[in-house]
Amino acid sequence: MKKLLLSILMFTAVFTGVKAQQDPAYSMYMFNGLFLNPAYAGSQEAISVMAIYRHQWAGLEGAPRTANISVHTPFRRDQYAIGLTLTNDKIGLANTFSVTPAFSYRLRIKETRLCFGIQASFAYFYQNNTSANLPLAGVADDAFKLNASLFVPNIGFGIYAYGKRYFVGVSVPHLLPSKLRDKTGVSGYNQSIARMYNHYLFTAGYVFGKEASIVKFRPSILMKWQKGLPKNIPQFDINLALLFIERVWLGVGYRTAGDGQQSRNYVGQSANVFVNFKATPQLQIGYCYDAEITALRKYTSGTHEIMIGYDFYYNKKRFVTPRFVKYF
């Protein structure tokens, strides 16, 4: 019963618009940047396919479950690249399915690629209120009498620069602050914050170590700031990873709470450990475990994230050329 109550409270908070992160969060963001930045398209210099499944807060009824698949590729004339991301995000009684095509214009400046990307997103929200199993009669009954659905388009923009050993990017996945109030059956309970807020993202990473080293070190960071937060405090994902023999990544990460815990903004939301294994020059498999640091840790056994990716290279001779080893 306690888990069910927590689930309903969590769902109600998310739907009524508590000013927290609205987009799905991934701990292994450094391996698949297309869902963060449309300018990332084509950066693998191949037809690249990546799938991620994230089960957040395992053991808590109604907890978020997110599936994401992306594909992107440069054209033969590699000044241009395209990409597509499909995402299904379910939390409590709410489900969001989104389709996001992307286009990137790429410039080569010596050993650096400077890319400018745009994207269009089409999100379909559906909330199955009538299936709620309320523990107590009369608790929020009015909010669960009708189902609700909504189609929300948006556009985004990003800049991404990368070289052999580094990457840096800024992006705004949602340029349009789409209002959701008066379009669903329950948004009227809190009309002041029933909207899709603008998101601003910054990512960066660098690989340290000599070319011939069997171990290399890569720190990376993701900063997320969302317009409309009470204290305007961004959230940070900080990751440290070691690469062994150009095949196995082992890393740890830390995510701050941002405005999610207004009294303890930088105490932290979660800590994680991840492994990514390049089984072949084309195939990579990854797993990440997140341990919750907040009070929610009493009710969940953690978060699990699984990733698998495959690159279809135009030129197979690249496989045996060290110059084409990808670090990001």
Q: Give CA–CA dist 27/296, Å, rounded.
A: 18
Distances (CA, A) of 35 to 15, 31, 288: 22, 11, 18
Q: What average pLDDT does the segment 175-187 reach? A: 57
Q: Residues 124, 89: contact at Cβ < 8 Å?
A: no
Give the residue with greater pLDDT, 322 vs 252: 252
Secondary structure element (H or E) that encloses residue 11, with its range:
helix 2-15
Q: What percent of the chain has pLDDT over 90?
A: 52
Average pLDDT, the chain: 82
Q: Evaluate if residue 93 carries a pLDDT over 60.
A: yes
* Per-residue pLDDT tens digits for 215-254: 999 999 999 988 766 677 888 999 999 999 989 999 999 9
- Confidence band (pLDDT; 50, 70, 90) for 325? low
* CA 316 to chain centroid: 30
The one-letter code for the residue type at 302 is: G
Q: Give pLDDT, residue 216.
A: 96
Q: What are the E-state strand segments in 175-301?
A: 199-206, 215-226, 235-244, 248-255, 270-278, 283-292
Q: Evaluate if residue 213 carries a pLDDT over 70.
A: yes
Q: Give pLDDT, residue 266.
A: 58
Q: Give pLDDT, residue 144.
A: 63
Q: Give pLDDT, residue 9.
A: 42
Q: Evaluate if residue 86 carries a pLDDT over 50.
A: yes
Q: Evaluate if residue 286 carries a pLDDT over 80.
A: yes
Q: Residues 299, 292: contact at Cβ < 8 Å?
A: no
Q: Evaluate if residue 129 carries a pLDDT over 80.
A: no
* Per-residue pLDDT tens digits for 15-24: 433 344 467 8
Q: Give pLDDT, residue 189.
A: 40
Q: What average pLDDT does the segment 77-102 reach? A: 93
**All domains in the chain, ordered by first residue:** 2-324 (2.40.160.40)
- Confidence band (pLDDT; 50, 70, 90) for 326? confident
Q: What average pLDDT does the segment 96-110 reach? A: 95
Q: Give pLDDT, residue 250.
A: 97
